Amino acid sequence: MRSNKEVTDMIIKNVGGAANIISFYHCATRIRFTLKDKSKFNAEFLKQQPEILGAVQAGDESQVIIGAKVGEYFNQIEKDYDIAANNTESPAPSDEHVGIIRKFINIIVAIMAPIITPLIAGGMFKVVISLLTTFNLISVKSQNYAILSFMADAVFYFLPMMLAVSAAEHFKTNKFLAIATAGVLLHPNWAAMVLAGKPVALFGVPITLASYSSTVIPIILCVWIQSYVEKFAEKVSPNVIKTMLKPLLIFIIMAPLALLLIGPIGSWLGDLLALLINSLNKVAPWLVPTIMGACSPLLVMVGMHVALTPIASLGFASPARSENILGPGMLASNIAQSGCAFAISLKEKRPQNRQIAVSAGVTALSGITEPALYGVTLKYQRALYAVMAAGGIAGFYAGITQVVRYSFGSPGIFTIVNFIGKPGNFVNAIITAIIAFILGFVFTFLIVKTDQPEKQIAKTLDGDKDANHTATTEIVYAPVDGRVIPLDQVNDEVFASKSLGSGIGINPATDLITSPITGKITMTYKTGHAIGLTSPSGTEYLIHIGIDTVNMKGNGFKVIVTKGQDVRKGDPLVQVDFAKIKAAGYDPTVLLISLNTADDALTFTTKQEVTIDDPVFSLADMRKNQHGKNN
């Protein structure tokens, strides 16, 4: 395994280097980069790395999905790269035409994501209090309960303060003045005026009485406006008194605006959103959890599930102190993914894949689904459909029984106590989880084929439907994207004569060499120009990268694996700079040879262009292969 530094250096390189990063932060499972030039985000390469679960471009964010080690990698990057201090310019203009709704969602996602951690902390704190009262360890009338409650509620009450910091970083304005504006909205004297309910005016202008504790939209609007006010103050303040006048102008403008106009607008928008959701729930109370139960994996894939957090927050700030926007539906989806992963672990015959499925099943059960989503659900054909169907049905049950959640926390088996509240709610939440797990398991077990790639080789290779091949066929995939070259046409007499064995050549279109089989690395070279592998059947394969490239002495090659390492089909083996190989005058053809295997033992593809997901040949009869070895 590579060290954290090796991995993070690789990540930084493939987001375009430190100079290409404007800002970055992390949530529970992914590092989110804002880049000057998004075209330098090498998502396809990052997806191939064993330490990385996935990479997606979501609006203006380039996201690298890590999983449990996200904090370690983030800290390593902060330690090694002074990104925040050096990269303050704006991103390069994008060719993408992003609609206003998508822009708004992207902004909300970026601002809310860093706040998820304290929200989870406060939510879990409330879970502990709930458990203490449920088991009569403390009384709801006791001083202990009162003190613990305001401790847990502090996270939500002062949410505008945290959002002020996050929004200021996003809109690139002074974060301390943003906090001061949030302080105006939360000041005890203002809260007392709101509680008193008597009309309030500033210089004769009436102020809407609204409480801003636990709110989201008002402070985001305030900070957004502040970013423009700050530019105005910078422009009009003389240099001689700028250090005093500029902050005064910003605050003396923003404080009244926050109470007179911006805060009330945000409050009205929040009330409107709540009204729409409540109206939808009254008309079809089953609909929101059903949709969330079915669509959560799709939202998580692009990191857009965070955008719904503000709406869920409105529920916690309402008199009901509960929400059904995220909690019930995501509980159904998360547990369905766990059931899917455990079903795969039983069906999967390959030990390494089985271990991955078990681990992903456990983490999904606890509410963290990225390992299951990227390691299982999206990997196996039809698994995503099984999860979406199971999550949708379980979400429908949560909807018709009106399940709600009373505090934040990634929905899973350990946070299901977040559903303790009104009579029957907790029981129905448990039933929702049981339905999701059982259906996720059963649907996956029935419709997902874990051995499909190996058992359908003959069919995959050019339509050969001879069923007798399936029991003795071994599939071999392309180690690199590119154009297929028959072995007898490659520019090397030894390989072209097939004296080492039969196989193919590929004129490479990409720079990453991946494993064509599931097996073991049995040979590596310091020069990086060749890799040897052995399949579980004992068949030996050679990948030779370029012709005579041994003379480059490793220049342009970076070997990712070590001898004796187990690999899966598609795992990265060698990173190659083919441009450097061509510049040095060498033929870049990648050769894939089944050592000591006769030509008639292989069934070749007729495709002229292949990717690493395409089979290029198969050993159609192991007895022929063995005969070839004996010869």
Catalytic residues: 27, 544
Distance, in Å, from the CA atom of 286 to the CA atom of 293, rounded to the nearest integer, reads: 11
Say which amino acid occupies 283.
Answer: V
Please say whether the beta carbons of 469 and 461 come within 8 A. Answer: no
**Dihedrals φ, ψ of 169, to 5°?**
-65, -40
The continuous run of DSSP H or E covering 463 comes out as none
Which residues 6+ apart lie within 8 Å of 575 measured at CB? 45, 511, 512, 513, 557, 558, 560
79 three-state secondary structure: helix
- Retrieve residue 213's tokens: 């504790």
545 three-state secondary structure: strand
Distance, in Å, from the CA atom of 105 to the CA atom of 58, rounded to the nearest integer, reads: 10
- Retrieve residue 57's tokens: 């471009």
Give alpha helix (H) positions in 452-517: 452-455, 457-460, 493-496
DSSP 349: -
Residue 203, CB-side half-sphere exposure with 13 Å CA sphere: 3
- Retrieve residue 300's tokens: 């998580």
Nearest to 171 by CA among 62, 307, 23, 28: 23
Q: How far apart are the first and last CA of the chain?
A: 39
Distance, in Å, from the CA atom of 179 to the CA atom of 190, rounded to the nearest integer, reads: 16
407 three-state secondary structure: coil
Question: Torsion-angle region of residue 483: left (phi > 0), alpha (psi -120 to 50) or beta?
Answer: beta
| Count of residues in the chain | 631
Q: How far is CA 547 from the centre of its chain?
A: 39
Please say whether the beta carbons of 458 and 618 come within 8 A. Answer: yes
CA separation, residue 264 to residues 177, 222, 352, 461 (Å): 20, 11, 56, 65
3-state DSSP: the chain helix, strand, coil percent, rounded to 5? 55, 15, 30
Please say whether the beta carbons of 165 and 174 come within 8 A. Answer: no
- Retrieve residue 265's tokens: 């607008």
Nearest to 16 by CA among 32, 4, 33: 33
Distance, in Å, from the CA atom of 351 to the CA atom of 567, rounded to the nearest integer, reads: 11
DSSP 552: G
